[in-house]
């Protein structure tokens, strides 16, 4: 008798990536599907990225959830590969307008009801969408978001600094040693893959000026401070709010305050992570998300 141990190769998950564009309110929006080929149709989870980025940083999360969901990633208007047209648009850069973009995108792709995972500024869009179109959502995940307190001087300083940062963007930054690491330093507590850091810097440098500068003023504003608490209180769909313990962009206390406004919001704080917990501690993030989704 052969007493040697026999092993079977670990099954490798096959991922299908299908890309496309769809015109949404005058702008060609880039989108991609992350799903497993040859499987039956699954519920859809749509991912919304944050300021200065693109849907690229959601790919690893989407791939991990593709066992249970067909994952839809898209680039917000003026970010990533959703470039603004040369003709002037009548649309503003208010976050409610971006929530409306999402509604039109889902309707254009004939998606009646979805799950949603949104991040940072994208999670503000997600919270607004939750109150504007609750009938479109099964469940919502808001990652790194919360309620700001208004400080006129601090906001003015933030807008001034942000304006300089946005104005002076040059592609040669990508050739500077350690530039991606320096660019991401404020956003991270734990290291992430080098290629992900490079992708973040690329996305920021390539974002349309009007969009990246316009959303600085609409996402951090007196209006947002006055509006968002009401919107968090109005959310009627089951929602998970995930904060990073070490986040200095949107501190965890802001997430706690938002969650206290509504018993529909379940709050989770991830230890030793900052503004990108889904990349800094992928395993814990996925565990918390799957628990919320009852997977």
- pLDDT 10s per residue in the chain (295 long)? 333 333 334 456 789 999 999 999 999 999 999 999 887 889 999 999 999 999 999 999 999 999 999 999 999 999 999 999 988 788 999 999 999 999 999 999 999 999 999 999 999 999 999 999 999 999 999 999 999 887 787 788 778 877 778 888 878 888 888 899 999 999 999 999 999 999 999 999 999 999 999 999 999 889 999 999 999 999 999 999 999 999 999 999 999 999 999 999 999 999 999 999 999 999 999 999 999 999 7
Tokens of 97: 């307008």
Q: Specify the pTM.
A: 0.93
Return d(Cα 142, Cα 164) in angstroms, integer. Answer: 29
Question: 177: how many CB neighbours lie within 10 A of its CB?
Answer: 7
Return d(Cα 23, Cα 83) in angstroms, integer. Answer: 11
Q: What is the edge-to-edge ordering of all strands in the sheet holding 137-143?
A: 16-24, 27-35, 70-74, 44-48, 114-119, 137-143, 239-244, 265-270
Return d(Cα 243, Cα 120) in angstroms, integer. Answer: 10
Q: Which residues, including other chains, have CB under 8 Å from residue 68's CB and lie 6 or more apart?
A: 42, 43, 293, 295
Return d(Cα 65, Cα 60) in angstroms, integer. Answer: 9
């Amino acid at each position: 008798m052969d007493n040697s141990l026999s092993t079977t190769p670990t099954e490798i998950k096959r991922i299908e990536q299908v890309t496309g564009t769809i015109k949404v309110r005058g702008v060609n929006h880039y989108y991609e599907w992350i799903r497993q080929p040859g499987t039956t149709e699954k519920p859809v989870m749509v991912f919304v990225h944050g300021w200065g980025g693109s849907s690229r940083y959601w790919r690893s999360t989407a791939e991990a959830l593709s066992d249970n969901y067909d994952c839809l990633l898209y680039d917000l208007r003026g970010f990533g590969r959703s470039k603004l047209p040369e003709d002037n648009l009548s649309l503003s850069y208010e976050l409610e307008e971006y929530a409306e973009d999402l509604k039109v995108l889902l309707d254009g792709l004939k998606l009646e009801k979805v799950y949603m995972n949104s991040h940072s500024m994208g999670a503000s869009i997600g919270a607004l969408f939750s109150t504007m179109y609750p009938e479109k959502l099964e469940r919502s995940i808001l990652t790194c978001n919360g309620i700001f307190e208004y400080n006129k001087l601090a906001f003015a300083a933030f807008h001034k600094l942000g304006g300089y940062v946005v104005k002076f963007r040059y592609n040669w930054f990508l050739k500077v040693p350690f530039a991606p690491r320096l660019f991401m330093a404020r956003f991270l507590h734990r290291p992430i893959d080098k290629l992900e850091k490079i992708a973040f810097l690329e996305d920021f440098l390539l974002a349309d000026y009007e969009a990246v500068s316009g959303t600085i003023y609409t996402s951090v504003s007196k209006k947002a401070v006055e509006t968002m608490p009401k919107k968090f209180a109005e959310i009627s769909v089951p929602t998970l709010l995930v904060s990073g313990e070490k986040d200095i962009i949107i501190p965890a206390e802001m997430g706690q305050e938002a969650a206290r406004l509504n018993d529909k919001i379940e709050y989770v704080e991830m230890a030793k992570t900052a503004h990108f917990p889904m990349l800094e501690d992928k395993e814990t993030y996925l565990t918390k998300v799957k628990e919320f989704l009852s997977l």
